[in-house]
């Protein structure tokens, strides 16, 4: 084994020197990054150097400057000899450069030694983490409203561009694990909130997987997710869902915050075109009818004050994507939220669904989605509509057609006539095996931030 290793070394003698050279180059790049603007590092290096000079001066005064006298004489002698051998135009800058490099090396080594205890294991350098942290903190204040998988998909992409995120989530869910906990424990449904917390988790992969873990067996546990049970327990311990979310956010180290639209016990109801009255968020799509009116009990639920504060401070408001009647509109049934969005003069955009949803938006166009929102809020609360540009593949179209679902048609003239801007872009991803169509979180976030930058730039 040792002989074969030596043979490989002999055949490629340049590999290892090159690797060492690359390692030195990479290390030099890391040192240079410490001088990047906005890290608040250069000022502390200057403070350290100034402190060192003052300490030496203090010692000199304390000892009546005798050591300084002899030190200056020695320095003068040494510098005189150096100046004779190397011109001062070369030796001076060279010595200064060596001194600066030694200061940077010492500072970098000190900080790295300390942070090894606190930094999570991984390949990311401390300076890269600081640069990323500063960049995200400088990002726009974004408020996203919705629920279901659509909102969590959006947040997963937005967290790469800004840490100033607020997700306002519907609490009208009454199906699945959330519905069971709501009926049995009397708590607000935690499912959509759990999904958003997991989506905003800051690279805490194990904790996120734990939060999303769903029990497959066990009397009473089957079907429940750990995150739902955790949020329910935290609600009981802290007193309400808002405090439970705050505690869970610390556990998951999330970027931004997740807030329920209201702390009221909200139940959705819908009136169908055939006269039926359907109660319950999970029952509305199952009714398989055309929805002509939607509301909630209690009527006009009070908004969470923190949610209103986030909207009033927002630089950018995004509504959707998500199920129109059961994820997006429930947030807008809280009058204070609708009022706050309408009064905020910042870029506001609605992300339209890619496909129609059976039982909710059968045959709906993009303008039908917008008109349904207008009928609820009785005003225009966003300026633009993001619509998917390219149609899904033939296999995906066949799969969805079998479930009475079709691509949302862009009726450009109706939207333009109503005063909305149209953002047309490819923000879709398709699963090549299942042929499921979803919004691509990274592409969606990129398009939304690009539009925001353009509109905010024009506005300034």
pLDDT digits (tens, 9 = 90+) for 59-74: 777 766 666 677 777 7
Q: What is the pLDDT of residue 18?
A: 43
Write out pLDDT tens, residues 110-126. Answer: 666 666 665 555 556 66
Does the structure show a pLDDT above 80 at 20? no
Residues with Cβ within 8 Å of 149's Cβ and at least 6 positions away in sequence, in order, are 195, 322, 438
Check whether 57 has a pLDDT greater than 90. Answer: no
User: At residue 17, does pLDDT exceed 50?
Assistant: no
Q: Which carries the bigger pLDDT value, residue 352 or residue 11?
A: 352
Q: What is the Cα–Cα distance from 437 to 354, expressed in whole angstroms?
A: 8
Residue with the larger pLDDT of the pair 185 and 323: 323
pLDDT of residue 228: 87
pLDDT digits (tens, 9 = 90+) for 168-217: 999 988 877 777 887 777 788 888 898 899 899 876 577 778 888 888 87
DSSP class of residue 224? -
Q: Which residues contact 322 (CB under 8 A, 6 or more apart)?
A: 146, 147, 148, 149, 150, 151, 328, 353
The answer, yes or no, to whether residue 6 has pLDDT greater than 60, is no
SS3 for 249?
Answer: helix
**Long-range pairs for 114-121 at CB < 8 Å and ≥24 separation?**
120/203
The pLDDT value given to residue 318? 98
3-state helix, strand, coil in the chain (%, to 5): 55, 15, 30
């Amino acid at each position: 084994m040792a002989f074969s290793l030596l043979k490989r070394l002999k055949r490629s003698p340049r590999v290892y020197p090159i690797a060492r050279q690359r390692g030195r180059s990479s290390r030099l790049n890391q040192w240079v990054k410490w001088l990047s603007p906005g890290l608040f590092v250069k000022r502390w290096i200057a403070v350290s150097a100034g402190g060192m000079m003052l300490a030496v001066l203090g010692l000199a005064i304390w000892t009546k400057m005798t050591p300084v006298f002899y030190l200056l004489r020695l320095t003068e002698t040494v510098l005189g000899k150096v100046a004779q051998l190397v011109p001062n135009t070369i030796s001076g800058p060279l010595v200064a450069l060596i001194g600066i490099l030694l200061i940077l090396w010492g500072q970098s080594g000190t900080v790295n030694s300390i942070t090894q205890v606190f930094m999570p294991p991984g390949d990311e350098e401390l300076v890269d983490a600081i640069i990323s942290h500063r960049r995200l903190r400088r990002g726009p204040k974004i408020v996203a409203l919705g629920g279901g998988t659509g909102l969590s998909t959006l947040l997963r992409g937005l967290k790469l561009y800004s840490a100033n995120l607020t997700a306002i989530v519907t609490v009208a869910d009454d199906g699945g694990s959330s519905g069971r906990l709501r009926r049995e424990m009397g708590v607000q449904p935690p499912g959509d909130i759990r999904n958003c917390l997991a989506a905003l988790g800051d690279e805490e992969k194990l904790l996120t997987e734990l939060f999303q873990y769903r029990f497959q067996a066990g009397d009473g546990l089957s079907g429940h997710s750990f995150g739902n049970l955790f949020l329910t327990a935290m609600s009981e311990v802290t007193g309400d869902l808002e405090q439970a979310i705050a505690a869970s956010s610390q556990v998951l180290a999330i970027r931004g915050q997740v807030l329920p639209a209201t702390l009221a016990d909200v139940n959705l109801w819908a009136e169908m075109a055939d006269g039926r009255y359907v109660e319950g968020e999970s029952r509305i799509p199952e009714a398989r009818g055309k929805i002509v009116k939607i509301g909630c009990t209690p009527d006009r639920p009070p908004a969470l004050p923190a949610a209103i504060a986030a909207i009033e401070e927002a630089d950018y408001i995004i509504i959707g994507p998500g199920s129109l009647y059961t994820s997006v509109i429930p947030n807008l049934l809280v009058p204070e939220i609708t009022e706050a969005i309408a009064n905020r003069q910042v870029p506001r955009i609605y992300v339209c669904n890619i496909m129609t949803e059976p039982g909710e938006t059968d045959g709906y166009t993009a303008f039908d989605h917008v008109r349904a929102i207008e009928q609820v809020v009785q005003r225009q609360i966003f300026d633009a509509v993001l619509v998917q540009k390219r149609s899904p593949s033939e296999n995906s179209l066949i799969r969805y057609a079998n479930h009475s679902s079709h691509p949302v048609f862009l009726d450009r003239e109706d939207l333009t006539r109503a005063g909305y801007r149209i953002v047309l872009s490819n923000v879709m991803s398709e699963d090549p095996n299942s042929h499921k169509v979803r919004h691509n979180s990274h592409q969606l976030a990129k398009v939304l931030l690009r539009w925001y930058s353009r509109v905010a730039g024009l506005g300034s």
